[in-house]
Structure 1
Amino acid sequence: MILELHYTESLHHPVAAAFLRGNNVKQWMLEIGRWNVSVSELDCYILPQSIHVTEEGGLFVIFKNPALCKNLDLLEPYYCIDQYVFVPANTRLYPEIRNEELRSVLLWELQVFHPTIGLTGFEKKDKVNLADLFSYEQNLQTDWSFAHPGIPDRILFNQILVEQMTPEEIIDAIKESIQPKPLEEIPLKKGEQPSAFEKFLDKIKLILFTGIFSVVEVVVKIIPESSPSNNYQGEGILQKLQSWLHRNMDELQKKRDSEINRLLNMFEENTDEALQYAIPLNSPYLNRGSQSVSDRLTRNPLKFNLGKLGGGDVVDGWDLGDRYYDLRTKYMNAAQKQIEQRDFKKAAYIYAHLMGDYSSAANVLEQGNLYREAAALYKDHLKNTSAAASCLERGGLYTESIELYKELQQDEKAADLFMKINQSSNAELYYEKAIISKLKNSDYLDASRVMHEKMDQPERAKIILLDGWNNTNQYEPCLKKFFDIVHVTEAKRTEEIVGLIYTKELPRYKRPGLLNVLEYVNKKHADEAVKEKVQNIAYKIIHDEAEEGNVQLLHSLKRFVPGDLLIGADASRYITNNKKQTFQEDHSKLLHLDQSIKWLKAISHRNQFLAIGTKNGHLQMARGNWYGNFEYYSWSQPVKNHTRFTFINAPYYTNQIYLHSSEGIVINKKELPKNKYFTENLTITCPIWLQNGSPVVTIGEDRNGYKLETINQEVTLHEYLLDGPLIKSTVIKFKGKIYNPSFSSTQCPLIYRNGYYYTFNEKQILLFSNKGRGVAFDLETGIRFVAASDQVHELYLIISTNKGCYIAKPDKEQLNLSKQVFARDYIPNQIVFIGALRFVIAEKKQAVLFEIDNNNVPVLLYFFETHNTIVGVLNGDNRNQFGLLEETGRITICDIV
């Protein structure tokens, strides 16, 4: 039988070797160097030129680890058959032969079947040491001290920047892309077009009438005209002149009204053309109550120029009256249409130039990937540096974003971007700054994360995590993370390290935490020695606790001996039999958060709660449940003493929670994972649109965010996706007058139920529908804040005022406000519903529980007193409990009989 090589078009086997043809050693070395593979991973043999000529024909290289060949571009690759025979990658042996039969005909330890050389082979002792292929000449004894040092290396570039266009130049480019039409007047119907003389005459009339009217008004005030006799009821000369002027000016106003009507109609017919005539509603020259020197609208080019935002071009004053809301609604609808059509430039023009809403303009520019323009609006017009930095980052403008992050002292973000532009030395510098800041904030867990994940320093991270186990309230998660790293870096030492962690001097309060960590390690490791070590220490901890009266940890035994099906029942029986004899201190009425933190506010979210506080000028957060399990998180940004925080959540719709600060602090997103203590994960965030301004925000049933905002004294409702993009805006038109339509208080919520929203200003409850129709209810007294029942029960509002509290049960556009005032003697810090009909009014150191009876009248049930200032009222583990969080971290659990 004769074996032959037959060509095949595709590779059927993994590559394991390569042939370097020729006898040039230098070429061999260059090719091997190109692979960037250590020579210790290679076995090399020299092949002859043919089976008849023994001179070198090439170098045959075998990869000890064939996986190294996967991404290499080899000139002549080979694969291996049965560990003994190497053949070219694009060939196969013919005829096919079984491995046992092939082995019976082989002559050497290794065979190479080359298409032209033929079948050759070698023993493993023939392996070539590549170092032996180099020859070194005798060193010369020469004095080199007089040698010229040569030309120094050029200084390396730190960065290369492309000269960018200015924002104004970019916006001018947008303007050119829109291609505005020539300036013309709004087209009129046939026969309505006035002549040039008529238009000129109308302007002269308006100027003249306005001047005469002003003079007459002054004269009438100074010299009031009297009647000739007591019986004469007619008008005097001045009054007749005023009436005549009114009639003529009304005629001119009618012409102006027809212009506005045509503009409103034009929005229905041709939005693009209508925008060219649109009146900027944010212009400082616009006066809805004054007369104009012109009765004609003129066409405006669709300019979007950052340098002219907020006014600068004189425009006519227009007396729009109620048409103002109609026109603003048309603008909103036009902007929404442009967003749907993905014409984000034009939508930004409408928001910024026509309505003065720079926040929405920046948002839609960002949606259109116009990041530089959006960042310019955020930074220069909205004074939101954080939003500008984030925007530039999303746009890949890393160098500019880095400078803003450095200004904001967000060192880790700056370092991340330095890594993206391959400036590792700068990245390391700013990672170190971030670590120092986190350690100063006692956040050992996050500091270790940067060391391990960002700087690849596992040993240093382990040291920090052990410090966290010994010194912080994050001791359990720190130790878990420590063993995660141990499992990767030195798994064989796990048994030894577990023994070193446990000491007899272990503080009692850490025993349950260590037991949980041991369970975690036990599940992670399959090594029997580790399991035995963990089990023995768990027995000691449980025994020590039982000796001191805490037999509840006996339930944990079954987690360490999963094969023993009886141990759980035995532990339960023992606990039951010894319950009366065992002394246990009663901790059921009190829980304690970290007392080194000054706590500011708290909120319940289904079966867990969150609390915000400060320590050493930095923001801290605790996550807790009613079993006394707590997790702690922190932010590195400094916090001013007077900063107020607001949680915005919708626990029955989403687990995403907004956290707003009165100072516009950047609240970087925190992911709070689901684990054995908490059955639901939470996300804490503050999107860009919420960072500045008041937190009059709610989360709807559709999980979108809704923000009420005042722009130029007009109220607008914006709808956003939870992660940021603006969806649409709605103008809110209220019946009657709204006093001071601003929402500056952090206790001014936006409440939503069944298509209607509720909020308040200084002395009014504001109610409006999602279609933009609103009603303002006067209370004739100052409103402190409003609290609402939760989203799954019938809506009740408790309104705290300077005269006491009112209760309301709204129904669509009816507020149904009770006339009876209750809780007159209390000055609430907060009011929180803890059920469908029960709510708590919390003062400084006292809380009062009320229940709404069948007549919708609040009835006082209980008083509760605390040691320190109450900062949070929390829903308890059941409907007959609630908790009072004090600023010191003490949580009093109040039972309701």
Structure 2
Amino acid sequence: MELKLKLHSKNSFPKEGIFIKSNSIGFWLDEIQNLGLALENCRVFPVPGTAANELYGCMVLADVRNTKIKDLGKNNFYQLIENKLFIPENTTVVPKLAKEEWGKLFSDHFHFLHPDIGLVELEEEIVWSDYIQKPNLLDIEVIEPRKSVAIPSFISSLRIEVDKEELLKQIEDPYSEEEKEENLPFNLKKLMMGNNKEMDKFLAYLEKHPEKAMKLAIPLDTIGSGRGGHEGIFTFNSGLVNDFNLEGLGGFLNKLFSGNGFTINMIRWGILVLFVVLVKSCDGPSSPIDFGSIMKFMFLCMIIFFFIKAATANNASDRTRTKSSGGAALVDSDRFNTLQNRYEKMAEEYVNRKEYEKAAHIYLKLLKNNHKAAMVLEQGQLYREAAGVYLKYLQNKVKAAECYEKGHAYNEAIELYKELNQDEKVGDLYLILKNKKIADRYFRIVIEDYKKNSQYVKASLIYRNKIGDPKEAQELLLDGWKTGKDASNCLNNYFANILSHEALSKAITTRYEEDVDEKNKISFLNILKHEFNKGQILEEVTRNIAYEIVADKIEERPELASELIHFNKNNTSMTKDVMKYKLKVKRRY
């Protein structure tokens, strides 16, 4: 019988092996490793070639269907027919044989059918121990092992190291020098001096190219402009008027007599003539100074003052009229408001686009609204940047510390909280950093402050919840009860911390026997009301103690009889007895 391979559109038999074409055993090992197969889970059969003592390749038997092959490469899958014959995938054998015929025609060994070499029997399986040798091991005596490095299995805490200057630099100047445009449609130097024509050009440029204009960082208060005074006019340069205001009369006269011009010369001659007239009006040093001479002198001084005032006013008006010449130094309110509104609109647009750093830059450097800049950074959860603004521009250490804490910059937050004497916050942050020893040190400082202010309950909460010492917390609450410092709250919290009703019952009895005296009996009675409602186990012990206290104090305080009703809510006769007793006492008095 002649068996032939015939191409087929699909595989008719299960894929059970991979054929590796090579005559090198080393190549077979490399390919098995590249395929992602474990050598101990594979059976490998060499496939002989057509010539004597020649290998054509090997057949690897593996659980191909349940193994994820990384990369098949140049190798091929093979089908296995009736656990007898391997044929390439996408082929079939003709003629078809019945199951009984496969058993009769083929031996118990596997067989391999290939178009190039025909049908061969796979008789021997490779025993790898015959081909793989163990490497020679060096005989090394280990005297002392090296110290190992502990590899953490989880993150216990997270903190971020902050470069404060670098963070603020990104907000103050987010654009590099390369990004700033050199060819501008306006004169930047004149604009910074307050020239209105250049300001108009800049406003038009800002309208068309807001992003490019932003890179120039032209602030709203350029060269000292500001709101208020001068009816909306904002001066940028100084002159004669400013010299008079700033330097005083002496400085003004120095300018006056060293300058040139028609107005200046007229003032000089006027002052000279008035001085001569003043001298001539006096007869000499021997003449007595009368009232008329004094009035004449004052009148002349007033004339000189009005001359100066008129000259300075004319000079200022001359300077104002030079606005149209291109050398102006004044910015009016309309341009100021326009620039302000456009900056504010740009900042809002950046916020809407979630570009919080650029929005903060506008508020900080252009609008000079430092508080708004910090708020925008907080809104964008840029807490470390916001902290830098709060600290440098607003000197608000409290907000800066809060922002550093939110931004996980715990070292910076701790530094500020220490300056603010917020020791509890310092302890909290050291706990986050897993430094409990230092944290406890600051918590104990807080506890001592609470004790000085008789706040024993708050101090006990620090012991219990933060230091983790419930025993010390209970001792502190007992101290508060014994010393009468917020006594009722201390004992209430002491009992509340005891969860077991049996232990609580014993504690109530112990405290009554050891720590209750004539001064605090009534307070203890009021505390028992709360404990009575906690459970049936506590009802009997609290009721008995309440009876003892009332019996001891009822002569001097008859109204305490009403307290017994609280411990006998379901006893209607008790209510009647109390009312009768109180009526009897009332009649007695």
State TM-score, norm by structure 1.
Answer: 0.33
Greater relative contact order, per chain length (Cα 8 Å cut-off, separation 6+) = 2
Larger relative strand fraction: 1
State TM-score, norm by structure 2.
Answer: 0.48
- The structure number with the bigger radius of gyration is 2
Larger relative helix fraction: 2
